[in-house]
Amino acid sequence: MRKTVVFDLDGTLADTSGDLLAAANYCFHDMGLGDVLSVDRDAGVALRGGKRMLTVGLERTDRYSLETVEAYYPVLLKAYGETICEHSWIYPGAMETIEVLKSQGYGVGICTNKPEGLADQLLRELGVRDAFEALVGADTLPVRKPDPAPLVETVARLGGEMPHTVLVGDSDTDRNTAKAAGVPSVLVTFGPSGEDMAALTPEALMSDYAELPEIVERLIGAA
């Protein structure tokens, strides 16, 4: 069975906060509130997903209601899909390292809480979709991370097995997913919440993608 390395997307492989926040602010403009969220202040909020952005923005303006969040969530997704790659970029060294891992024989896939269609669209617009053999999104299965099922499904699609898998992520969601699945996690420290990653006690921290091949081999052995 293949050994596999599975990546989160937002905040791990790519900084997508600018486009996510723009989509949220589109909704707030529609509500007559203007730009409520900003990249400088809310990049970490953006990587928590659309509903979290709406919740934070509405709470900040004393307009929060669950009904408003649910009503505007599809509006946000539509706006995001229309401008998904204007301010998003792959983190330095990520794709070069993925090619190294593949050349060494590891299976490489993505397990994200972004809806699968939007994840696929983003990866294609960034020009990197073909680098990943498997993609599982928030709506691929009835459950999403931190439930371990999406990670298990990603590994199955790669032809791997759980005891020989590493999950690379940027949040407590990824840490908890890996823990629930019984696999080691590597958390990146270069994202918006990087300073908080050590407190989550992952099996490894990564400040630069060049470090990853050595970390993976240490955690699960050579492919």
- Over residues 9-39, the pLDDT tens digits come to 999 999 999 999 999 999 999 999 999 999 9
pLDDT recorded at residue 193 = 79
Is 8 among the catalytic positions? yes
Q: Tell me, what's the pLDDT at 136?
A: 98
Please state, in angstroms and rounded to a whole number, the distance separating the CA atoms of residues 83 and 61.
25
Q: Closest Cα to residue 125, out of 77, 93, 89, 78?
A: 89
Residue percentage of the chain with pLDDT more than 90: 95
Residue 25, both tokens: 């602010």
Of 24, 26, 71, 64, residue with least CA distance to 48: 24
pLDDT value at 122 more than 90: yes
Q: Above 90 in pLDDT, residue 191?
A: no
Helix axes of 66-82 and 17-30: crossing angle, nearest 10 degrees: 120
Q: What is the pLDDT of residue 65?
A: 97
Residue written as token pair 């050579």: 222
Round the average pLDDT of the chain to a whole number and report it: 96
Average pLDDT over residues 194-219: 96
**pLDDT of 192:** 79
Set 8, 19, 42, 170: catalytic member: 8
DSSP labels, 41-92: HHHHHHTT-HHHHHHHHHHHTT---HHHHHHHHHHHHHHHHHTTTSS-EEPT
pLDDT digits (tens, 9 = 90+) for 56-114: 999 999 999 999 999 999 999 999 999 999 999 999 999 999 999 999 999 999 999 99
> What pLDDT is attached to residue 56?
98
pLDDT score, position 50: 94
pLDDT computed for residue 1 by the predictor: 82
pLDDT (0 to 100) of residue 195 = 82
> How does 16-51 read in b/e, with b if 16+ C-beta sit within 10 Å?
bbbbbbbbbbbbbeeeeeeebbeeeebbbbbbbbbe
Ramachandran angles phi, psi of 107, nearest 5°? -85, 140
Count of helices and strands (H, E) across the chain: 9, 8
